[in-house]
Chain A
Amino acid sequence: MPQVTFKVWRGNKDAGEFKDYQTDITEGMVVLDAVHQIQAENAPDLACRWNCKAGKCGSCSAEVNGNPKLMCMTRMEDLPTDQPVTIEPMQAFPLIRDLVCDVSWNYEVKKKIKPFKPRKPDNADGTWNMVQEDVDRVQEFRKCIECFLCQDVCHVLRDHHKHEEFIGPRFFIHNAQLEMHPLDTEDRLGDLKDENGLGYCNITKCCTKVCPEHITITDNAIIPLKERIVDEYYDPIKKLFKMFKPKK
């Protein structure tokens, strides 16, 4: 493959622009390789995050030709190279510099979610029994690598900036894996309804589409959580029972 032009976002929170860089593309290269090459050849101060380079750590999230992607898993062969390839940072978070944004909000959100609280151990040695069928769904959610691409693409965060009232798909997944964990005894439905803004999600499934781990975020996590909330808080018969239940 020949030289390819990249339009890379350069700048900080105050100002920035796309800058053009040319670099040689060889067989099998991914976008992150191109960014590293540009860094080494032309722009040593070009800021970008990365770690594993194998789709396992979720550090190198960015928007390639407008699509939220892990740069390490986006092959140059899959992109049209007769026109410039644009690379820009995620849009749902404040920019730090170039391709790096401030994702600290995500860490604060997670801290507020009630942690795992297991039931008493099943066995005398302090262990539990769980069968594989009961953990398959939870394991799907636990594949999440926290790349935050689902957060980036979610219009509630990206366009409406509801960061104060809405925790985003990543943390619905996190809630779902806790709520569906066979050992967990905590109840997070009230928080999901009142504090975490689950109701804002109108199931456009954008998050599911961009997930590099192919987690079916909407169908397997968000919709079941919404159903549980309906069952818990809006089921008329249950409501009736609740009225007569002695207060704890």
Chain B
Amino acid sequence: MREFKTHEYDVLVIGAGGAGLRAAIEAAGSGVSCGLICKSLLGKAHTVMAEGGMAAALANVDDRDGWSTHFADTMRGGQYLNNWRMAELHAKEAPDRVNELEAWGAVMDRTKDGKILQRNFGGHKYPRLAHVGDRTGLEMIRTLQDHGIHQGIDVHMEVTIIDLLKDGDRVVGAFAYEREHGRFVLYKAKAIVMATGGIGRAFKITSNSWEYTGDGHSLAYNAGADLVDMEFIQFHPTGMVWPPSVRGILVTEGVRGEGGILTNSEGRRFMFDDIPDAYTSSTSDNEEEGWRYVTGDKSARRPPELLTRDHVARCIVREVKEGRGSPHGGVFLDIAWIKEHIKDAEAHIKKKLPSMYHQFKELAGLDITKEPMEIGPTTHYVMGGIKVDSDTQMSTIPGLFAAGECAAGLHGANRLGGNSLSDLVVFGKRAGEYASKYAKENSAGSVNNDQVQQIAAWAEAPFDRGDKAENPFTIQSDLQVMMQDKVGIVRDEKELGEALEALEGFKARAEHAAADVNRDFNPGWHTALDLRCLLTVSEASARSALARNESRGAHTRIDHPDKSDEEAKVNNVVRKGPDGQMQLERVPIPPIREDLAQIIEENK
């Protein structure tokens, strides 16, 4: 029998980015005991990478904005596969959550009359993104962190959860290892909030860090929860493409919000060439009008560079494929050109996009105030995730809640930029609130010690692989290449089938992923254990993508290039079947409430 430390909480929050921190603050504030698990150090979670801003209809810059417009924009961007109730709650509550951050010390950029400044972003009808230059995520996470450390939350840093524990139907705990010495830890909890972020490490070209291995998705799935919309993975149109070592690092949409344009090797603004029907009335058809829009002319329509991310990414792929790409396989993103219109362009760019300026200066040796950037799509965000109740954020497992990127519903087939940071705090708060309520109403369950010992044995196995030992980094890297090739931006039935077949091979290889030396802060071992999660989310994405016979939002099938009315009525749900195999169910989308349908119609 292995010995390990045990902690006991009313609410355990797994993940310490924006959603996890906000959930923990809410839970602790409601008088229950709360533990917070960070896979890395506190304050380093992926939220820190968010750049452009946080969408909320504050109407500080354009007083025509309001929650209903934000709601309609979110639904249109998500191609109406969204959970409409979540989109409603999000649009209504985001302004309060932004103001709350200010009350906790956040310092966002200001309007001339001293309010929170808002900027334009793709798919948002009005300037809506509260921001701090291009480091809004840092501002959010630091604010929540600095507020959170005084709320009586127990923070556990550099701890990785490897399994959830159940008592009958409900979740009652989680089993983990701490990185420093690889010791096992048991967390007992009456309620658990998943806030583990995304799955980007399943792909080769990604803006995501090592942590993004789909842990929450996979842990919930293995505990029996439903995952929904897993075919919808957002490839952000603008990632760095050169030099090779920085390929995939994010270039904020804020560049386009500030007037940046996309051009091909012929110098043509190719985004004017293909404007989707749903957006023709709100998109400018000439450069002059587009510029007026980004400089605040309320009568102007937005430039096509500010169309939704799925569409922009597809246009870039088309340009590259048809031979009009940049030297290193991307296209050009040019912000320097605004010097044609404004006098102190260089200072303006440095003020509005400081971290982009440094990122290109230091990593690519390029001055964005003088030259265009080379950019191309990068795996950025998963719209799909743990299926949750719209109001309480509880998953299909009693006691298990989810918020932020690992939960699904708000974004449908495609997320609008800026709707992630607001998602984190709106639904982080709700998850914390309802998890705490659940904890108050339920007593502690009991943990099955045999199950715990089994998980521990599984986690120790990489140190004892014998002859067939394989390097976990090699397996992970091969998996990323396969997923990028076959489940990437453009998909078809044949390749998705091949992907599912290949995944069986990877599952077998993962059984041989080996670790060496000892368990003290050993990245090889961690990578070997993360493979299980990566494989679960990879399969969920491939299966869901195969089942959706249409192109919609971030999901593009070349064998089904159009939208289908039939597919528009369903969400794809995957869950673990009784035989341990992944099952897929096509679940009809519940009819939208009449008043919300009306709002969508009015905003068309």
Interfacial residues, chain A to chain B (CB-CB below 8 A): 12, 26-30, 33, 39-40, 44-59, 73, 75, 96-98, 100, 102-104, 107, 110-111, 115-116, 118, 121, 125-132, 135, 138-139, 142-146, 177-178, 181, 184, 214
Contact = CB atoms under 8 A, between A and B. Distances in A.
Nearest to A118: B103
B523 to A, nearest CB: 6
B102 A135 contact: no
A28 B146 contact: no
B149 to A, nearest CB: 5
Contact of B44 (A27, A30, A57): A57
Given A104-B157, A131-B110, A138-B107, 20 more contacts: A30-B245, A44-B527, A51-B46, A52-B46, A52-B49, A54-B49, A57-B44, A59-B41, A96-B521, A102-B180, A107-B157, A111-B149, A116-B146, A116-B147, A126-B103, A142-B132, A142-B142, A143-B135, A181-B107, A184-B105
Contact of A145 (B113, B138, B211, B362): B138
B522 A47 contact: yes
Interface of B: 40-46, 48-49, 99, 102-105, 107, 109-110, 112-116, 132-133, 135, 137-139, 142, 146-147, 149-150, 155, 157, 180, 209-211, 242-246, 249-250, 354-355, 358-359, 362-364, 471-474, 477, 515-518, 520-525, 527
Nearest to B137: A56
Contacts of B518: 45
Contacts of B115: 127, 129
Contacts, number: 173
Contacts of B246: 28, 30, 53-54
Contact of B105 (A49, A100, A116, A126): A116
B142 to A, nearest CB: 7
A111 B150 contact: yes
Contacts of B44: 51-52, 57-59
A135 B41 contact: no
A28 B105 contact: no
Contacts of B359: 54-55
A29 B365 CA distance: 12
Nearest to A145: B138
B321 to A, nearest CB: 24
A28 B245 contact: yes
Contact of A51 (B157, B211, B517): B211
A198 B243 CA distance: 43
B364 A56 contact: no
Contacts of A104: 157
A179 to B, nearest CB: 12
A184 B517 CA distance: 51
A121 B471 CA distance: 57
A131 B43 CA distance: 27
